[in-house]
Structure 1
């Protein structure tokens, strides 16, 4: 019998599972009753924060994301909590000054996060350094993610070299972040083996089921030596989400990779989430299209979420018939833009530009501000040079920046503190405001109104106006 190498499981239902399938609309109230059971499973970690959860909590659910994190931390006594962090963009869509990044990392760890998965949409490692150093300083676990993509530049040597640099940077572990489900089984074997040669860091594999190969990819990756895999409990698995936790546990049962997790307990957790999923189907929140296999993902290298965004953009313009033209235009725009991986925010930038190119009937007749910023070097350095002709058309004689954009930014925290002082109820509020000024302000107003109502009714009860 060969040496036992149990595979570790990262459960994503509280973050990527519901982000991928129901637009991040699961509420804290829906999460809390099952936490005690989830805490008994023995997961390596539960991913429960970051990504789009922060924006969605404030914008759609009228919840304080910091309060959610504290409640989850109170409930998970034995399990590590994990978040997703967009490098210098934190959880927003623009690069922030270093002081904001450092403060966000500090507060995330202080409120209960153990593992911070940090990535950059261009794999520009300069945009990860501040967050990694801050996590190291706060004694958190810094996991750095490679945004996996395909293209001439993305050779095994490229991935090995990047992994070595990540280890040298001070990362505690490495993640292969396959956000579009592009990693096919045989390539997973080659990639994991190459990374294991290049680095001694533990390796986590994250993928999506969009293209239909994810479970097989996990199997080959585990056999090649990957240490952790990301899965979602079955009601929030498959489609644009991750492979199902129970399926992967059962797959490796009795083998040298046996997770040792209790299927009965996982079954009870699945039973809890099933009605939440059914309700999402009934209300139209879970679109059945998100559950199927979309082989166009492999053909066009476009993430599932990006495909649905394109469809809705075209529907709004009454131009659904242009869908395939846009799909064919995406790889061309991506090439012009230095072959960037397609992940937030680069996926939105490339996708929107492709839509404009097709609808205008002329390529780059209209160029978005975000496209101009990317071509001007404001998001970081692309793996391949951008198309000089398109760059000139977009930014004219402006000199592209070659340094890290954050090096040109003044500290922001003090200014932000002044701007939102009237709404501040906790230190963390300034960070919510930094990321989403308008959305956070609307939430602060809502919170104040709710509080005043409660205070008023208490006062009225005491005055005898409303006898209890």
Structure 2
């Protein structure tokens, strides 16, 4: 019998690779016992990456979500792990060192055992400090190698990086094959190279299934000494996500490895509950193309999770490009035409930009440059004329050292703009900032939270946290969700009038108590605007005013807790007693 292979369920990444949002805390509380009951997972990915940020975007406190999810897993001894972007922490741009240090203390206190640290450029200067901070906080630092396929990304290249990370104190190495384009044989050789020198180091393989290599890669890394395999489960496995635990277990069991048994009754319950979350609201933000594998990803090397946003980008520029072509009496381009052009352009610009591994945020930078180049070339203009500031930071070395050499034309373009290249430690560009955020918390009368977790959220995601605290995020999300629901219904053949009737059927009318003129606030000015769709009202609140024939202004109360689904009259409109002013959907308790 061969060695034991353990499984880690990527419940966070399953959602992030499928769509925009993550489950709510109450949903995570329901799925955790079933994950435990399945009995086959040594680890579960609970948070990190975009998890906290997307929670804030829909108006939920991410700290509650993390604690809710980790607690039952901690109690039964399942290790929890998070994704950590090194210099960028949990966001898309660099984080001050004092905020990075605080992150590990907060996450350890919240019940997260392991932090998977990666740098999109594989620059050890961005990873090693996080290894130190994690060890100081009592977390297990798992240092990552961002896997891609290029002339510079060889076994020797990755082995050298692994040596430096292990010497810095990392007891674990993750092969983060974020686009799933790592070639199976090369990955097997890399695992063997690390294990031959460091048999005690745990190696975990993380491979997306987008272009179709992942099952072969899993078998190769296990044959060469890997210890843990990241897996997904239905209904969010395969496609641009990860292989399903059922298939991985069956393959490895047949190959003679010791693998855990799976409680299929619990698997089916967890599968059904995850589908319930999709049907609740998360499915409205899942791009259906993320359920498909695509061999086209081999050539571009882009992560599969980017396909949804990339197709949206292409649809956004298609009309403008075709309008231009039509004006020149040239043939218009289909989405497929543009997709092939974009993939070809990514393959062209990637080596010229120094082969940055195509992972967040550098995959976005390369894709954006390629897209702008395509737009310019269609118009007969030069490449490289539209490069944003974040991409320039990568080119100039402010984010870290690029793996390959920049093309001479890129160097010349930088010099022509007066830009300077740097090889200084990227962290030096971002001074400590916690004291500034503490002052903001104090000025607003906000509590720092248990283990300073609220302070951390402000410091890590300041704009999103402010929107969360003000309620703007919740309102914005509710509007977005309603638009998504309406769009889905229209796609299924419902007219706007059908949708309006369905909303009214679930709501209650607010009616005029007197004949008169409608005013939406106590200023009684002509410019007052009706409440927005989704706006909340409580029973004691005034919904609007009716200006009567006798010169008085009668208050129209909301009468119950609810949320606006439709406003039926405009400011200043004349109504009769009993006329419907708006519809409010009753909600007893607000989240």
After TM superposition, the score normalised by the length of structure 2 is 0.72
Superposition RMSD in Å: 2.5
Select between 397-406 and 387-396 the one with higher mean Cα deviation: 387-396
- Shift in Å, 1:311: 1.7
Equivalent residues in 2 for 1:184-223 (5 A)? 184-200=183-199, 201-223=201-223
On the 8 A contact 1:121/1:346 being kept in 2, the answer is yes
Name the structure 2 match of 1:25: 22
Larger radius of gyration: 2
| 1:445 pairs with 2:470 | yes
Select between 77-86 and 186-195 the one with higher mean Cα deviation: 186-195
| 1:135 pairs with 2:160 | no
Name the structure 1 match of 2:506: none
Name the structure 2 match of 1:412: 433
On the 8 A contact 1:119/1:144 being kept in 2, the answer is yes
| 1:424 pairs with 2:449 | no
* DSSP 3-state at the match of 1:236: coil
Name the structure 1 match of 2:253: 253
On the 8 A contact 2:210/2:240 being kept in 1, the answer is yes
On the 8 A contact 2:131/2:141 being kept in 1, the answer is yes
Q: 1:373 to 1:447 in 2, by over 3 A?
A: closer
| 1:384 pairs with 2:409 | no
Name the structure 2 match of 1:164: 163
- Residues 109-153 of structure 1: CA distance to partner in whole angstroms, max 9, x if unpaired? 111110000000000010012211011111210001100011111
- Shift in Å, 1:388: 4.0
On the 8 A contact 1:310/1:355 being kept in 2, the answer is no
- Shift in Å, 1:279: 5.6
CA distance, structure 2, for counterparts of residue 254 and residue 211 of structure 1? 24
Name the structure 1 match of 2:392: 372
CA distance, structure 2, for counterparts of residue 75 and residue 22 of structure 1? 26
- Residues 170-223 of structure 1: CA distance to partner in whole angstroms, max 9, x if unpaired? 112000000001023333322222222243311000011111221222122212
Q: Which has the higher contact order (CA 8 A, sep 6+)?
A: 1
| 1:298 pairs with 2:298 | yes
Name the structure 2 match of 1:333: 349
Considering fraction of residues, name the structure with more helix: 1
- Shift in Å, 1:46: 0.4
CA distance, structure 2, for counterparts of residue 287 and residue 323 of structure 1? 17
Q: Which runs of 5+ in 2 are unaligned?
A: 322-334, 476-535, 541-558, 561-587
Equivalent residues in 2 for 1:270-309 (5 A)? 270-277=271-278, 284-309=284-309
* DSSP 3-state at the match of 1:197: helix
CA distance, structure 1, for counterparts of residue 412 and residue 454 of structure 2? 41
- Shift in Å, 1:56: 0.8
- Shift in Å, 1:42: 4.7
Q: 1:209 to 1:224 in 2, by over 3 A?
A: same
CA distance, structure 2, for counterparts of residue 375 and residue 316 of structure 1? 26
CA distance, structure 2, for counterparts of residue 391 and residue 150 of structure 1? 24
| 1:63 pairs with 2:84 | no
Select between 140-149 and 250-259 the one with higher mean Cα deviation: 250-259
On the 8 A contact 1:236/1:277 being kept in 2, the answer is no
- Residues 426-447 of structure 1: CA distance to partner in whole angstroms, max 9, x if unpaired? 2222222223222110101129
* DSSP 3-state at the match of 1:146: strand
- Shift in Å, 1:400: 1.4
* DSSP 3-state at the match of 1:117: strand
Name the structure 1 match of 2:338: 322
CA distance, structure 2, for counterparts of residue 391 and residue 307 of structure 1? 30
* DSSP 3-state at the match of 2:342: helix
CA distance, structure 2, for counterparts of residue 312 and residue 198 of structure 1? 46
- Shift in Å, 1:101: 0.4
Name the structure 2 match of 1:349: 365
Q: 1:423 to 1:311 in 2, by over 3 A?
A: farther
- Shift in Å, 1:456: 10
- Shift in Å, 1:293: 1.6
- Shift in Å, 1:249: 2.1
CA distance, structure 1, for counterparts of residue 352 and residue 193 of structure 2? 29
Considering fraction of residues, name the structure with more strand: 2
Q: Which runs of 5+ in 1 are unaligned?
A: 458-464
